[in-house]
Structure 1
């Protein structure tokens, strides 16, 4: 199966470099999605541009496809299921949850000069970054791509309730499956509360397992793709 890989905020497609060969070793074709505004130098990209890039990758895939989104990009993966429910065989949500219709995509941090730069490690102290050493933190921060305001403040639009029939895997890195289930049960993730089939997988890592646990992450995605 083709597995599309969508990085979260501040990440370009190279964030999946260690996951791709691990997925291919499991017999899958891994396709990192280059998002407009996150690696191509564009500061004017919008959420719509990123959705279009993801859908183009879905349309170019061979047969049914798994779409894996990381962190904020869990919403991009869910938007793909909404727009292509007949093509998306499974959605994998890595370290995050999808926003609902009418919500802002990722307006989490201050925008400066039309972009939302990486805010430093303060907001991510604790379980999020516990498995990143000082060198890894420096490398991440130096490579972080400021996210265009049109992406961060874009409004999510969901239209097709057939998305709720697409199976979902929630990969739980810095939080546990039990915590994720509790958030869904409490109504904190309305989109998943309506999903017909949701599975949870534990992963002992921080918020960026593609960097710190690529083989383990690939194993979880590969197993879900075959399920």
Structure 2
């Protein structure tokens, strides 16, 4: 099965190298995406450009793919489900949640010179980055790609309620399924309150399991794809 891999902020497709290698060994077809503006030299890219790239990958799949969104890209994966509900076997949300209609995509940090650069590790101290050693942090920071302002501040538009019928797996790395369930029940993640088939799985890692636990992460994704 095709597994489309969409990295979060500051990441290009190479972030998935180890996960992809393990996924292939497990019999699946991983498709790591390098998004417009995040590795293809297009600093003026917009959220619509990134969604178009994801939808092109969905449409190119030989069969209904599993679409994996990491961190902020959980919203991109969910936008794909909104645009192609009949074409996606399952959405996997890793370390994040889809933004609601009308909300900015990812205006979390300061925009400078038309882009949102990696802000350093201070905002991520604690469970997010506890499993990344200093060498891993330096590698991440040196490779981090500033996210175009047109992506970070793009407005999320959701229009097709058939998205709620697409099965969703919520992978919980730096938080637990119990915590996620509490946020959903409290109405803090409105898009997930209406999902008809939602499952949650725990992953003992920080926010970037593709770097700290790639084999375990790949095996989890393979299990999800096998079930789909």
For the aligned pair, the TM-score class normalised by the smaller chain equals over 0.9
Q: State the match for 1:78 in structure 2.
A: 78
Q: State the match for 2:9 in structure 1.
A: 9
**In 2: Cα distance, 1:66 partner to 1:223 partner:** 11
1:20 and 2:27 aligned: no
Q: State the match for 2:185 in structure 1.
A: 185
**What displacement does 1:219 show?**
1.1
Structure 2 counterpart SS, 1:118: coil
**In 2: Cα distance, 1:162 partner to 1:33 partner:** 25
1:207 and 2:207 aligned: yes
**What displacement does 1:40 show?**
1.3
**What displacement does 1:138 show?**
0.6
Deviations 1:148-181 (A, max 9, x none): 0000000001111110000000110000010011
**In 2: Cα distance, 1:81 partner to 1:23 partner:** 22
Structure 1 counterpart SS, 2:89: strand
Q: State the match for 1:223 in structure 2.
A: 223
**What displacement does 1:193 show?**
0.3
Q: State the match for 2:144 in structure 1.
A: 144
For normalisation by structure 1, the TM-score amounts to: 0.99
**What displacement does 1:42 show?**
1.6
**In 2: Cα distance, 1:121 partner to 1:184 partner:** 28
**What displacement does 1:215 show?**
0.9
Q: State the match for 2:135 in structure 1.
A: 135
**What displacement does 1:34 show?**
1.3
Q: Which of structure 1's runs of 4+ aligned residues deviate more than 3 A? A: none
Deviations 1:105-144 (A, max 9, x none): 0000000000000000000000000000001101100100
Q: State the match for 1:96 in structure 2.
A: 96
**In 2: Cα distance, 1:78 partner to 1:223 partner:** 20
Q: What count of residue pairs does the alignment treat as equivalent?
A: 227
Gaps of 5+ in 2: none
**What displacement does 1:210 show?**
0.5
**In 2: Cα distance, 1:14 partner to 1:205 partner:** 20
Structure 2 counterpart SS, 1:111: coil
RMSD: 0.6
For normalisation by structure 2, the TM-score amounts to: 0.99
